[in-house]
Structure 1
Amino acid sequence: MRLHPPQQVERFTSGGWWTGDTVDRLFREQVSARPEAVAIVDPLNKPSLMDGPVRRLTWAQLGAEADRIAAVLLEAGVLQGDVVAVQLPNSVELAVTFLAVARIGAVVTPLPVQYREYELAQVIRLAAVKVFVTAERVGDRDNAEIVRRLEVPAPPIVLAWGDPARDLETAIADPAMLAAHLKGLETDPNDCVTICWTSGTEATPKGVPRCHYDWFAVESNTTAAPSLTGDDVVLNPFPMVNMAGIGGVFLPWLRTGFQMVQHHPFDLLGYLDQITEERVTYTLAPPALLTMLLRNPEMLERYDISSLTRIGSGSAPLPPWMVKGWQERHGIAIINFFGSNEGIALLSDPVNIPDPEERARFFPRPGVPGGAWPGTLAATRVKLVDPVSGEEITEPGRPGELHLSGPTVFAGYLAGTADADPFDEDGYLVTGDVFEIDGPGGRYLRYVDRARDLIIRGGVNIAPAELEALLAGHPAVVEVAVVGYPDEVLGERVCAVVAPRDDVDLPSLVDFLKERGIASYKLPERLEIVEGLPRNAVGKILKRDLREQL
């Protein structure tokens, strides 16, 4: 399945933004160059996730494992271009399966372990899944049996790690079959290699096919921003099912050959243990966690994090004081990422934006003279569009929806999974994210909010993300979401939904915001206290659920 049209391929290959790299080519290069180096380490709590030993594999061992599973997949009937669904926790087995599927030129659709019968049946049908690889047990769930019992038109073959009948841990197939297949295999970087699924915060998940070309254009940025090398030890706490896990860790791992330490599900004490024991140099973490750790220095004092030099964060606005605090107290640079499965890949790194508070607030505005940005951002073009008039916005301080074009952008949704064309008349991806032009000389973009999350109070737009970033600094707030609720007079009013650390009330939150000089029309008029915010399978807050509750 070739994804991008020939003129697109010519444009980005001639400019050097797309190369001949493929997942399997980079993998084989690392196996050859670093055979005895440790490639991957299992999470400490693996026995609670699935059957099988906790493993630490070298690149040579990983290569042999991937070849073995590739032969098993061929024996099961998988051909080039066939779709293989993989539902596994972050583990050695997940990486082995992913690499084995790519080895034979098939397509992997990685699924969050939280998916149940409803989502699994949808994915199997929409992606025409031929083989489904999982674990016999995922946590306390008999996952392989659940998949086998699904009532779908064309049931996939189910292969399972820990299967009593044929455990993938020890399964052997004829290696001559793999050799013969590889001899006749021709892989093009424009071939589809993954089908990821959108988070589904507002609707049924959409399939996002990605090829080697656009994935490695993303990787160019996520490797360059933290200056990753083969000497790094990287702790990966994000499921390898979407942009964060695949684009942020898996592909940079194949590019550089660093040691990848898997973590799943997120457990704070286990996470800090792994940083200490593995001497981790780089990791990823959500803003709420970084804020909490900065406010609880006594917790960090029990662990040795001296090896850690930088942390990638994103998915929500970063409080400037938090980014500054990590740099000043611990000498750790926070890299601000803004990405999507469809191909947004904006980031603010400490080399090009050394001021930590600016790095928290701003993203590059590609195409503006005087900007020097890492990776493929130089080939990216953006425009802000007024959502009402359709006019392109070129002046600072005026919110507009981000439209984006470049080598990181996908070719379009999987057939049958989206109703609308995601591109505008100029071929730019319509992101649904609202930004403003900001900073000295208009060199930066400042995130405002998701277009669908904007609150319209009395005809005036209010960005929840702005309020959330400020309220995250309140000492009694662990995490917060701001949403609108219906009002007969104003249309909507503002509600803060807070998971608190200590007692907190609405007047204290309002006073906290007033002290920061915020406009009075943005102040929340309602407070809801919750134990925790609802999140989807990849950790995004389900604001739809909160709005429905209100």
Structure 2
Amino acid sequence: MNQANTSPTLDALFQRILARKPDAIALVDPINKQRITGRAPMRLTYAEADRVISALAAHFIDAGLPPHSVIAVQLPNTIEFVLTVLAAHRAGLVVAVFPLLWRQAELVAALNRTSARAIVTMSKIDGVIHADLAMHAAAEAFSIRHVCGFGNDLPEGMFSLDQSIAKPSQSTRGVMPDGRKAAIVSFDVTADGFRAVPRSHLSLIAGGLAISLESDLPQGVNMMSAFLPSSFAGLAASVVTWLLSGGSLALHHPFDAEVLEQQLAELACDTLIAPAQLVLRLDGSDLAGRLPNLRYVLGLWRAPEQVASSPAWKTREIEFSDVYLFGEAGLFAVRRTAADGNPGPVKPGRQGAPREQPGSSIAGEILVTPKGTLGLRGPMVVVAAYAPAPPPSDSLMPAPPRDYVDTEYAVRLDRAHDTISITAPPAGVMAVGGYRFLAQDLHEWSRRLGQGALLTALPDRLSGHRLAGRAMDNARARDALAELGLNPLMVEAFRDRANQSG
């Protein structure tokens, strides 16, 4: 057997489905896409999606992007994101996924860290002109050679991908499918600072398997993802589980509960992937009656220490699985108990395969480190990206290499029941939704705003933390932070208290 056939890429998975059912629905846009991006929503079959993927791949090849070079992507949770990722892989490129909250300072840092050769964005997302952000960031990144985007009113110098799709080139590049090669780069923040985390196709697929196997998702599911894909977890939970199931993937740009329910009902979705706290708000009030086709819910927790104290899942007709996320290091899923709807026990050991079969670990392994923190290892985990800093040169006993990543989440091991409780997040690292940063960064930005300015993170049940700021003149502080190229979480921390809601 050809070795390449044993290590598929994401595009190879897509093409296998395409060969079986080219006319089946593959991708569906959010119904409110017009409001979000100014573009009409689309619905594509596998054959139609394949034609767009080939056109985009040809554009990247014609743009002179060499094989294995990095292309940065900052796009909303719409069809364009999925098509761009698969097209980049078809052209032999590596995709760096950029969160939508990132502004110029973070964009430039990540572009320089990865030596990205190109950046792809949307002209406008939720009222923010991302095309201008991309152009300004590209001007400060010496490696960038190509800037392109979707949508109207693109700035001068930005290539239109819509035109490339309308008048496709026939350029191709012979790329041997090899799942061991790099597929994506995502970005994390640990106590040691900002990290770029590269992952192979096989590592991504292992993350998707961890979720789909534990949740027992059947083949051909009709799924809806309301979780932004600009992270390892977002990609694994949506794009990879879709490709593993061979069904259809509808997208919802988070988060409008009324629009989400409308989409789920109109599309008769049987699977929902969304932030857990938001999904739990939908539970009750005859959820099964409102959404009679819904059978599986995957609730993703960016603050996994909150799972144990979360409310029980009430709707017994719908299976609920908690997906624990540990930054970009890794994840695991645990199905809720059918009897009471409470979170299932977290057990150390292999995940994604029967525990009684030695060596059968498919997705990963959970362990308790000597420090009393949670460690992860296995095919989805990139140990090298989280390797501890080398010891001082005068050290006579270098630390032994690890075969796991220490997530720095504090845990308590119940030996009597062989279970783990996650008790606290990493010290010194703050999280606001999917945005992670060092606590010391808050003090640095406050200092740059001058005397009397304060920026702090307060605990928040929904998002982990929320930012609050105080300055002599809040309006001037907001303007100063925006000029520094900081993201809106920092800027809006200095909103006037009279305008705060809750």
TM category (shorter chain) comes to: 0.7 to 0.9
Q: Does 1:409 align with 2:409?
A: no
Query: Of 141, 160, 173, which residue of structure 2 is paired with 1:167?
Result: 160
Query: Of 171, 177, 197, which residue of structure 2 is paired with 1:177?
Result: 171
Aligned to 1:521: none
- Residues 107-122 of structure 1: matches in 2 within 5 Å? 107-122=94-109
Q: Secondary structure at the match of 2:411?
A: strand
Aligned to 1:384: 368
Q: Secondary structure at the match of 1:326?
A: coil
- Residues 135-154 of structure 1: matches in 2 within 5 Å? 135-150=122-137, 151-154=140-143
Aligned to 1:266: 255
Q: Tell me the CA shift for residue 158 of structure 1.
A: 0.7
Q: Does 1:297 align with 2:297?
A: no
Q: Tell me the CA shift for residue 250 of structure 1.
A: 0.6
Q: Secondary structure at the match of 2:160?
A: coil
Q: Does 1:21 align with 2:21?
A: no
Query: Of 466, 475, 479, which residue of structure 2 is paired with 1:533?
Result: 466
Question: Normalised by the size of structure 1, how large is the TM-score?
Answer: 0.69
Aligned to 2:334: 348
Count matched residues: 426
Q: Tell me the CA shift for residue 292 of structure 1.
A: 3.0
What is the rounded CA distance, in whole Å, between the counterparts of 1:211 and 1:101 in structure 2?
A: 14
What is the rounded CA distance, in whole Å, between the counterparts of 2:106 and 2:8 in structure 1?
A: 32
Q: Secondary structure at the match of 1:122?
A: helix
Partner deviation per Cα, 1:465-515 (whole Å, 9 max, x = no partner): xxxxxxxxxxxxxxxxxx9xxxxxxxxxxx995679xxxxxxxxxxxxxxx
Aligned to 1:194: 184
Q: Tell me the CA shift for residue 88 of structure 1.
A: 0.7
Q: Tell me the CA shift for residue 382 of structure 1.
A: 4.1
Q: Tell me the CA shift for residue 440 of structure 1.
A: 5.9
Aligned to 1:428: 404
**Structure 2 unaligned residues grouped into runs of 5+:** 392-398, 431-438, 440-456, 469-488, 494-502
Query: Of 339, 354, 357, which residue of structure 1 is paired with 2:325?
Result: 339
Partner deviation per Cα, 1:368-423 (whole Å, 9 max, x = no partner): 999469x9746744432343xxxxxxxxxxxx1122322221142299xx9579x9
- Residues 126-525 of structure 1: matches in 2 within 5 Å? 126-150=113-137, 151-164=140-153, 166-171=159-164, 175-178=169-172, 181-182=173-174, 185-198=175-188, 200=189, 205-294=194-283, 297=285, 304-313=290-299, 314-315=301-302, 316=304, 317-318=306-307, 322-327=311-316, 331-340=317-326, 342-349=328-335, 354-356=338-340, 360=343, 362-366=345-349, 371=355, 377=361, 380-387=364-371, 400-413=372-385, 425-438=401-414, 441-442=417-418, 444-452=419-427, 497=459
Instruction: State whether residues 312 and 334 of structure 1, in contact with CA within 8 Å, keep that contact through their aligned partners in structure 2.
Output: yes
Partner deviation per Cα, 1:94-142 (whole Å, 9 max, x = no partner): 1110110011110001111221111111111111111111112223222
Q: Secondary structure at the match of 2:13?
A: helix
Q: Tell me the CA shift for residue 38 of structure 1.
A: 0.6
Instruction: State whether residues 7 and 180 of structure 2, in contact with CA within 8 Å, keep that contact through their aligned partners in structure 1.
Output: no
Q: Tell me the CA shift for residue 230 of structure 1.
A: 3.9
Q: Secondary structure at the match of 1:364?
A: coil
What is the rounded CA distance, in whole Å, between the counterparts of 2:415 and 2:103 in structure 1?
A: 45
Q: Tell me the CA shift for residue 187 of structure 1.
A: 3.9
Letter of the 1:94 partner, please give it.
Answer: F
Partner deviation per Cα, 1:295-321 (whole Å, 9 max, x = no partner): x728x59x8211111211233333567
- Residues 59-138 of structure 1: matches in 2 within 5 Å? 59-138=46-125
Instruction: State whether residues 186 and 328 of structure 2, in contact with CA within 8 Å, keep that contact through their aligned partners in structure 1.
Output: no
Question: Normalised by the size of structure 2, how large is the TM-score?
Answer: 0.75
Letter of the 1:207 partner, please give it.
Answer: A
Q: Tell me the CA shift for residue 159 of structure 1.
A: 0.6
Instruction: State whether residues 281 and 307 of structure 1, in contact with CA within 8 Å, keep that contact through their aligned partners in structure 2.
Output: yes
Percent of residue pairs identical:
21
Aligned to 2:443: none
Q: Secondary structure at the match of 2:85?
A: helix
Letter of the 2:74 partner, please give it.
Answer: Q
Instruction: State whether residues 381 and 406 of structure 1, in contact with CA within 8 Å, keep that contact through their aligned partners in structure 2.
Output: yes
Letter of the 1:408 partner, please give it.
Answer: M
What is the rounded CA distance, in whole Å, between the counterparts of 2:276 and 2:126 in structure 1?
A: 27
Q: Tell me the CA shift for residue 271 of structure 1.
A: 1.1
Letter of the 1:385 partner, please give it.
Answer: T
